[in-house]
Amino acid sequence: MTPEVHRPVALDRIGPQGTAVPVEAAAAELAGVAARLGVPAVHAVRCMFKLRRIGGIIEAEGELHARLTQVCVVSLDEFDGTVDDRFTVHFVPAGTEDEEPDPDAPDQVPFEGSAIDLGEAAVEQLALALDPYPRRPGAELPTEALDGPQGSFAALAALRAKQ
């Protein structure tokens, strides 16, 4: 399956001093990215990668910028926002990933063949950087939602109090 943003970079293009590679999603790709991420719209995805070889590993430092429309978890209104993120990933030959990865170490992205896909890496990092509970600036819970006990456990407590 071809990813929504496919930007293969040949490994032999990465010289000893490293290589800078920009990735920008085309307008035709953005709808696919939005569908994949489960958001109403993605307006722009740009990422600047700095690649360097460390033995058989390709280290990629990325600076990601995206503009998108999300749905507020409080008001359910759509709102536009941005995602700015810096990250490091290691592209490693498939089958050589750490079996017990270190949570403090850069993520490992397996690759096969003689190229890595920076477009897919940019979209994966955008997915990781998204707020799982997006909230429109200034959105507040209605005051009736703040009155009294909250949630399922409050309902159970009320039943127990009646006994």
pLDDT value of position 98: 87
pLDDT value of position 152: 63
107 by Cβ neighbours in 10 Å (0-12 / 13-18 / 19+) ranks as middle
Categorize the per-residue pLDDT at 147 as very low, low, confident or very high, splitting at 50, 70 and 90. low
Q: What is the pTM assigned to this prediction?
A: 0.83
Question: Looking at the predicted structure, is the pLDDT value of residue 145 above 70?
Answer: no
Question: Looking at the predicted structure, is the pLDDT value of residue 47 above 90?
Answer: yes
49 by Cβ neighbours in 10 Å (0-12 / 13-18 / 19+) ranks as buried
Among 70, 85, 82, smallest CA distance to 136 is for 70
